[in-house]
Amino acid sequence: MVVRHLILAGHDVHVVTGAPDFVFTTEIQSPRLFLRKLVLDCGAVQADALTVDRLASLEKYSETAVAPRASILETEVKWLNSIKADLVVSDVVAVACRAAADAGIRSVCVTNFSWDFIYAEYVMAAGYHHRSIVWQPAGWKLKEEYLPPGWLCLVCGASEQELPPNFIKLPKDVYTPDVMAASDCMLGKIGYGTVSEALAYKLPFVFVRRDYFNEEPFLRNMLEVAARILQDTANGKNYASDKLSGARRLRDAIVLGYQLQRVPGRDISIPEWYSSAENEFGRRTGSHSDDNSNSSLFENSDAVEFDILHGDVMGLPDTMSFLRSLAELDVAYDSEKFTEKHHVRERKAAAGLFNWEEDIYVARAPGRLDVIGGIADYSGSLVLQMPIREACHVAVQKIQPSKQRLWKHAQARQQAKGQGPTPVLQIVSYGSELSNRGPTFDMDISDFMDGDQPISYEKANSYFARDPSQKWAAYVAGTILVLMKELDIRFESSISMLVSSAVPEGKGVSSSASVEVASMSAIAAAHGLNISPRELALLCQKVENSVVGAPCGVMDQMASACGEANKLLAMVCQPAEVLGLVDIPSHIRIGGADYGSVRIGAFMGRKMIKSTASAMSSSYSNGNGNNLDELEEYGIELLHDEASLDYLCNLAPHRFEAIYSQNLPDTMTGEAFLTKYDHHSDPVTVIDKKRSYGVKAATRHPIYENFRVKAFKALLSSASSEEQLTALGELMYQCHYSYSACGLGSDGTDRLVQLVQEMQHSKASLSGDGTLYGAKITGGGSGGTISVIGRNCLRSSEQILQIQQRYRNATGYMPFLFEGSSPGAGKFGHLRIRRRVAPTQD
């Protein structure tokens, strides 16, 4: 199409391509068209029609484009000059754009809207072990009996193999849309072309999944919602005004294609129906819309029930849903009961994960809502956190290596080492297709050992970073290494783990902490380790800081481990001192730049404050003070304390303003700071010499935030009044704008806070109908969630729904509403379960 329009505009067009001539000449007959057969972009290497071999793709790209790059550029520049080219149009072939630049010619790229997202996988480092898990069918041929009697299959782009009589090979230049329109159904791999034609011709489409095709979830939802529209229309239904209608969901699916780019800093929100979509089985754990949530645990399951040997499900519907999914795994493993077309890889992998004759341990850990305290946790602030209803469940089985059912590539790895059964860790993570990560992870537990000692955290971080699609495993497997290093635990048995989280990722509600806490809780229970909730939270922080490499404070893990339903956990992060649980008064209802650089700025500020205090203290100690009154005014003891300040939050706001604020720069480069102060004393962040850091705002925030949280906590226990609610709301607003001053936040959260303010100050609210009093961003500052405080009444629910609607009208996206609370991991404890009758295993 691009070539045709350029020719119609009067241009000579030279096409450099490896495609057959008929691709262009069938549609364009013009003397202005010139074809030059040359391949500049090798594309992906596929082991077969469905499976991308990422390592081979990288190797081929290196051979065809990287190694000979200089000679390619020289040739292409000469050629461009020889034809006197004025413009280079490329479908994102990097060398073509570089050649155009070297030749002094303008270039543009024309491609589908999410190119960078699709190709992200191909620029990732791929380990050689991927070769052992690539499906490579050998000698597979079509057979006449593959089709029902009377059916014909028209084969497009077939190889040279001989076909059965009911399979008809079509010419390479056949116009496939006409063939599709004349067919009863289409078989093939899912892709933009096939999905578009299926939608255009209302053609049933039987497709197979494609590994590492990142936009498959989007395309599959396109087909699903289109089918729903057709079905609704046929039944005479019309849901045009319903946010979950076929038409609305189809529009959201189209918008989603643009959102898959995930450009940093852009206000992007995945539509609610997509981010919380149930998989093919319709049983994603954590869903609270299950109509049977209050019924018998296994009422709708054909699977055999478990005996609960220890613990209590506490009536939690998500826990009951998780146990139901466990009970049904043997159905997925039985190929006669569970047909191939319903498989998802993660469920199939999980089906063979456990030995049903052995005990299984289940732990649960919720996400958390940061009511107030926020990013000041690493500076020692008082924080108030509430565990949310959404949680992560982890099932763990400790098993003898000889009894563990290993995946084929894990078996091959052990055989290659020439050893018998050894302890292996196998993990399955549900929800992988919505997050574009690998659904499974496995390793020899001995990989965590270097001789007779556990490997360093630095080596572990590098180990998990080798393959970005498997980096998620650091949050789960990292708990094992931390237990080995910090508690001197050794694991002699194999471990099988199933992880299922309903805590939304990237929304500022601590999805990572819930995974860590649930994983370590389940592993500890399976191995008989008695770890207090507080100690477990600190160990999980070590996982995130040292194994994952994320510079978080401890409040997320503490809230997930130590919280209780419908209460605020009050704690001082020095490092993790729980002050108690704060009841939420019955009339009150709460719902719901990069973090690392702000943390560095705060530690820079602490270093400067300590240096200033030390200099002033030394000056007075050496007799350089003017008089005793000045000594008393500044307080020599205070200066001594501030010279050894462990946490910024221990500095009173008035001391900060009176003595230190004016000496702090607004910003400072890493190089300038390191030259003067040598280091910033933060073990989990590294200063970039070339980067400029905000210092004053990042230092001021935790100092004032600690004061705001103390005031908030005191107000919660005061008498109920309009003034109480107004003051609580004002503290939340101040917190939000203090975040913004640090350079954190997002357009979406700022807009939501603004909508709360507009609702609060509307005429209706001022006349006595107001129920909302304040709002703030929650979490590390870059998530997409705000917490709102208001009266616990029906009117506040109505106003929140109005804000949802206004946000959707302004942006096109419907915010997700977090409501409710649930117990932390410590309160839940763990379940020990076992099948009453073990299913038959092959």
- Tell how strand 667-669 and strand 449-450 pair up: unpaired
Q: Which of 431, 120, 52, 58 is nearest to 260 (CA)?
A: 120
Q: Which CA distances in Å does 61 have to 58, 132, 346?
A: 5, 21, 30
CA distance 222 to 253: 6
Q: Which of 210, 161, 211 is nearest to 189 (CA)?
A: 210
Residue 556 known to be catalytic: yes
Buried b (16+ CB within 10 A) or exposed e, 615-654: ebbeebeeeebeeeeeeeebeeeebeebbebebbbbbeee
User: Which amino acid, one-letter code, is at 279?
Assistant: N
Question: Is the preceding peptide bond at 575 cis, omega within 30 degrees of 0?
Answer: yes
Q: Which residue has the tokens 């496939």?
A: 176
Name the region of 550 (left: φ>0; alpha: ψ -120 to 50; beta: rest). Answer: beta
CA distance 354 to 360: 8
Dig out the tokens for 705 from the structure: 């935030």
Q: Which of 270, 364, 384, 782 is nearest to 550 (CA)?
A: 782
**CA angle, residues 605, 609, 612, in degrees to nearest 5:** 135
Cβ neighbours around 656 below 10 Å, total? 19
3-state secondary structure of 162: coil
Q: Which CA distances in Å does 246 have to 249, 478, 810?
A: 5, 42, 21
At 776, give phi and psi (nearest 5°): -155, 155
Please tell me the number of Cα atoms within 13 Å of 766 on its side-chain side.
5
Compute the residue count for the chain: 842
Residues sharing a CB contact under 8 Å with residue 313, sequence separation 6 or more, in sequence order: 297, 319, 320, 323, 831
In 50-103 the beta strands, taken as DSSP E runs, fall at: 87-90
CA distance 708 to 719: 18
Q: Which CA distances in Å does 462 have to 262, 455, 477, 507?
A: 25, 11, 14, 26
CA distance 56 to 746: 39
Residues sharing a CB contact under 8 Å with residue 574, sequence separation 6 or more, in sequence order: 380, 646, 647, 649, 650
Q: Which of 535, 504, 498 is nearest to 519 (CA)?
A: 498
Helix 473-486 to helix 457-465 angle (10° resolution) is: 160
Residues 211, 377, 556, 682: which is the catalytic one?
Answer: 556
Could you tell me if 702 and 649 are in contact, meaning their C-beta atoms sit under 8 angstroms apart? yes
Residues annotated catalytic, as ranges: 556
